[in-house]
Amino acid sequence: MRQIAAIALLALRTTFRSRVVLVLSALLFVAAFLLPGAIRGDGTPEGLVRLHLTYSLGIAGFLLALSNLWAGCAAVSQEADDKTLQLLLVKPVPRFRIWLGKWLALLLVNALLLALVGTVVAVALHAKLLRGGFEAEALAAARQTTLASLQTLRAPLPDVEAAVRAEYESLRARGQLPENIAANTILDSIRRTQLARLYSIAPGASLSWSFALPPVQAKRSPGVLVLQCKADSSVPGAADIQTAIELHAGDQTLARELRAMPGTVQTLVFSGIPADARQADVVVHNHGTHDATLFFDPSEGLVLRQPDGTFAGNYLRALLQLFLRLALFAAIGITLGTLFSMPVASFLALVLILILQLSGFIASAAQVDRATFVANVAPFAAPAHAHGEEQPPAAEPSFLARAAANVFYYAYRGTYLTLRPLLEDRTIDALATGTCLPPRALARNLLHQGLLLPLVLGLLATAVLRRREWARPNIN
């Protein structure tokens, strides 16, 4: 244990002496202390909370991730270039303890900086809400929506598989199925069309959603439910949509009138839900003046959100999740510094940051069916034609074009599966929208990002430290 502590102390000294780390620390200071003062929001407390948390914690997390990768790379590769690592390797110190000591040093730095940033952001947000001049009702609504820990409830989707299969067989019998498109892609398109029909409301009509309320609702009295909905209109340029919304829970019936712009998310807070209610029914009546049909997304168009804990607990879980993410970044940086020289390790760290910035595109591309991906990408590999030259009719892509599309698909797929814990992290988005971060998810991330993945990287770095030939230092 003394060896690990000594290595960690030495790594801390090296980290704090780095000029790059000092520059990143200055930028972190700006993100934590100065950026919150420049955020104005959209005039509502909910918008202020979302912008404040998203920008402050988002930029701070990005800077901390970048500094972790760079400091991790320098922890080994820079010492190897300076010939100081070799002095440590000749001593009877197990190689894994060297890696572990450097990793624990970065974890300590992350804990201190993240605690400082989290405290400053929370205090600044509270002060801005008090000085923002918001009405008491608006602040109370914000504490029940964005400054909350809400569990999202979704109504079960209707079973449309029989209708989807029947329509598919009908199109195939009439020879109207498109060529070069996988059957799964066509079935998915038909399925989305069928659901869109079921979740549309004609003028003067109504549509209902049923939600099962978890037993935890009985522990709160009076109960609160938050309704979030977003609808599009069939009339282009319609000024607004007008609906009457009824919520039935137990023996209570609560009604609200809603008038909003199409495509905007609307939030309604319903109080006084009976503690013994186990089901909530939401009925939407379309009585707009534009004779417009309303369209709701089947899974996200209308959801109920139920309080599940406090914002303080949710905020603490978010900071812990960010800490686990930084722990994984630190492990990746140290391993890159062990495998490669400092220039190469730094370049690969920047590539990783770029991949994470394109996480949405990579995740969507990797989850598309391979046949569909190849059919969509392969035509772009066709040779270009001169300006004015007649374009040939569409033809089957060449073997090389399809091979290139397959290479791209497996590259996206491999990147997504390898970096999935980082690509799918939505901690800050969940916190900024009041979505509950469940303790089970935090425990799962602790196991994966805080223990298993760093352990695998540590064992890999240990094997390299044992087998790699290091240049001997010049001792005169």
| pLDDT higher than threshold 90 for residue 217 | no
Q: Is residue 41 part of a domain?
A: yes
Residues 70 and 113 in one domain: yes
Instruction: Quote the domain boundaries for residue 232.
Output: 200-307
Q: Is residue 104 part of a domain?
A: yes
Task: Provide the pLDDT confidence category of residue 220 given band limits of 50, 70 and 90.
Answer: very low
Provide the pLDDT for residue 27: 77
Residues 247 and 362 in one domain: no
Listed residues 307, 326, 358: the one ending a domain: 307
**Mind listing the pLDDT tens digit for each residue in 268-299?**
999 888 888 889 999 999 987 778 899 999 98
Task: Provide the pLDDT confidence category of residue 37 given band limits of 50, 70 and 90.
Answer: low
Contact 249, 274 (CB under 8 A): yes
Token output for 162: 């029989």
Token output for 267: 């939030």
Q: Which residue has the higher pLDDT, 467 or 126?
A: 126
Q: Is residue 184 part of a domain?
A: no
Mean pLDDT (whole number) for 10-18? 74
Residues 12 and 125 in one domain: yes
Tell if the pTM clears 0.95, that is, is over it.
Answer: no
**Mind listing the pLDDT tens digit for each residue in 102-117?**
999 999 988 988 998 8
Residues 329 and 435 in one domain: yes
Mean pLDDT (whole number) for 248-260? 90
Listed residues 307, 323, 346: the one ending a domain: 307
Mean pLDDT (whole number) for 125-153? 85
Q: Is residue 19 part of a domain?
A: yes
Instruction: Specify the pairing of strand 294-296 against strand 231-233.
Output: antiparallel
Comparing 49-63, 212-226, 460-474, the range with the smallest average pLDDT is 212-226
| pLDDT higher than threshold 90 for residue 198 | yes
CATH number, residue 227 = 2.60.120.260
Q: Is residue 176 part of a domain?
A: no
Listed residues 307, 329, 358: the one ending a domain: 307
Count of domains in the chain? 2
Provide the residue type at 3 as one letter: Q
Task: Provide the pLDDT confidence category of residue 28 given band limits of 50, 70 and 90.
Answer: confident
Q: Is residue 399 part of a domain?
A: no
Task: Provide the pLDDT confidence category of residue 314 given band limits of 50, 70 and 90.
Answer: very high
Mean pLDDT (whole number) for 181-209? 89
Distance (Å, whole) CA 423 – CA 271: 37
Residues 110 and 62 in one domain: yes
Q: Is residue 11 part of a domain?
A: yes
Task: Provide the pLDDT confidence category of residue 55 given band limits of 50, 70 and 90.
Answer: confident
Residues 213 and 353 in one domain: no
Residues 315 and 461 in one domain: yes
Residues 239 and 345 in one domain: no
Q: Which residue has the higher pLDDT, 457 or 7?
A: 457
Distance (Å, whole) CA 363 – CA 291: 39
Residues 330 and 457 in one domain: yes
**Mean pLDDT of all residues belonging to the chain:** 83
Mean pLDDT (whole number) for 242-251? 91
| pLDDT higher than threshold 80 for residue 121 | yes
Residues 303 and 317 in one domain: no
Torsion angles phi and psi, residue 225, rounded to 5: -125, 140
**Mind listing the pLDDT tens digit for each residue in 145-177?**
888 899 999 999 999 999 999 999 998 898 888
Residue in 64, 129, 105, 122 with CA at minimum distance from that of residue 316: 122
Provide the pLDDT for residue 274: 85
Residues 117 and 222 in one domain: no
Mean pLDDT (whole number) for 18-36? 72
Task: Provide the pLDDT confidence category of residue 390 given band limits of 50, 70 and 90.
Answer: very low
| pLDDT higher than threshold 80 for residue 238 | no
Q: Which residue has the higher pLDDT, 148 or 78?
A: 148
Task: Provide the pLDDT confidence category of residue 79 given band limits of 50, 70 and 90.
Answer: confident
Residues 316 and 219 in one domain: no
3-state secondary structure the chain: CHHHHHHHHHHHHHHHHCHHHHHHHHHHHHHHHHHHHHCCCCCCHHHHHHHHHHHHHHHHHHHHHHHHHHHHHHHHHHHHHCCCHHHHHCCCCCHHHHHHHHHHHHHHHHHHHHHHHHHHHHHHHHHHHHHCCCCHHHHHHHHHHCCCCEEEECCCCCCCHHHHHHHHHHHHHCCCCCCCCCHHHHHHHHHHHHHHHHCEECCCCEEEEEEECCHHHHHCCCEEEEEEECEEECCCCCCCEEEEEEEEECCEEEEEEEEECCCCCEEEEEEEECCCCCEEEEEEEECCCCCCCEEECCCCCEEEEEECCCHHHHHHHHHHHHHHHHHHHHHHHHHHHHHCCHHHHHHHHHHHHHHHHCHHHHHHHHCCCHHHHHHHHHHHHCCCCCCCCCCCCCCCCCHHHHHHHHHHHHHHHHHHHHCHHHHCCCHHHHHHCCECCCHHHHHHHHHHHHHHHHHHHHHHHHHHHHHCCCCCCCCC
